[in-house]
């Protein structure tokens, strides 16, 4: 039998508890901003992927292939170390004045996740009977207006379950931002471990918090689905 005693001081110690709280706040901020931006970009890429205008469709396809087939950690390093080479000076200065590490993580997480969200939404769009688009166009709606008012609201409703998974994945993937120095939850757990030499307790606390975040995200989106998207209690499938 192991004689190891779990040390609660990781949680009760004011210094360590504050470090975990700071990491949690940063994780929530990073995940929230990236989720919103990834959904907006993914929605637009999905529509571009289905347009009949060839250059836009090819651009959307290249976007999907590039970001879905490149490891997230490579993208994090690219935006952190390489963005100075491709972004205008005034943008780099602006990002530095904010928090460059945080901004680089947001950019990487946004582009990476938006590619997966775009494919989920595209699947939802393709599930809508094409007769609805034809009826909308015959009524005088443009392609964009038809998508905005008729197709996308239904497609998003159909893709709520996979979108939940993508948002959860983004929240968990935010832990990789520690490699570029973002002080999120995993980064803070690593700092606690290095100061206290309590590896199990430090990462157990971080794991528990991540599990709570996942349950909260799932609960919020499911409530939104039931109360807003499906007020009559109909399923999303």
185-202: average pLDDT: 89
Helix H or strand E segment including 56:
helix 54-68
Note the pLDDT tens digit of each residue in 131-182: 888 888 888 888 778 888 888 888 888 888 888 889 999 999 999 999 999 9
CATH topology for 9-229? MetI-like fold (1.10.3720)
Q: What is the pTM of this model?
A: 0.85
**pLDDT per residue as tens digits for the range 150-163:** 888 888 888 888 88
What sections of 174-236 are H helices per DSSP? 185-196, 199-224
For 114, residues 6+ apart whose C-beta sits below 8 A from its C-beta are 37, 38, 39, 41, 42, 45, 67
- What is the residue extent of each domain of the chain? 9-229
Q: What is the pLDDT, as a whole number, of residue 237?
A: 45
């Amino acid at each position: 039998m192991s004689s190891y005693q779990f040390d609660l001081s990781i949680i009760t110690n004011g210094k360590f508890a504050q470090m975990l709280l700071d990491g949690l706040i940063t994780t929530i901020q990073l995940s929230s901003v990236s989720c919103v931006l990834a959904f907006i970009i993914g929605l637009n890429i999905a529509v571009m992927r289905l347009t009949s205008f060839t250059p836009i469709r090819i651009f959307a396809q290249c976007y999907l292939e590039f970001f879905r087939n490149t490891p997230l950690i490579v993208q994090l390093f690219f935006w952190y170390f390489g963005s100075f080479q491709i972004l205008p000076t005034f943008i780099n200065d602006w990002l530095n004045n904010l928090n460059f590490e945080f901004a680089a993580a947001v950019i990487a997480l946004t582009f990476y996740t938006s590619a997966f969200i775009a494919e989920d939404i595209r699947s939802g769009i393709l599930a809508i009977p094409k007769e609805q688009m034809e009826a909308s166009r015959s009524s005088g709606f443009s392609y964009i207006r038809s998508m905005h008012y008729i197709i996308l609201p239904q497609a998003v409703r159909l893709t709520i379950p996979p979108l939940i998974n993508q948002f959860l994945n983004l929240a968990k993937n935010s832990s990789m931002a520690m490699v570029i120095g973002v002080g999120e939850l995993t980064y803070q757990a690593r700092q606690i471990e290095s100061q206290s030499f309590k590896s199990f307790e430090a990462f157990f606390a971080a794991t528990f918090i991540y599990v709570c975040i996942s349950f909260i995200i799932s609960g919020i989106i499911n409530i939104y689905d039931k109360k807003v998207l499906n007020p009559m209690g109909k399923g999303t499938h």
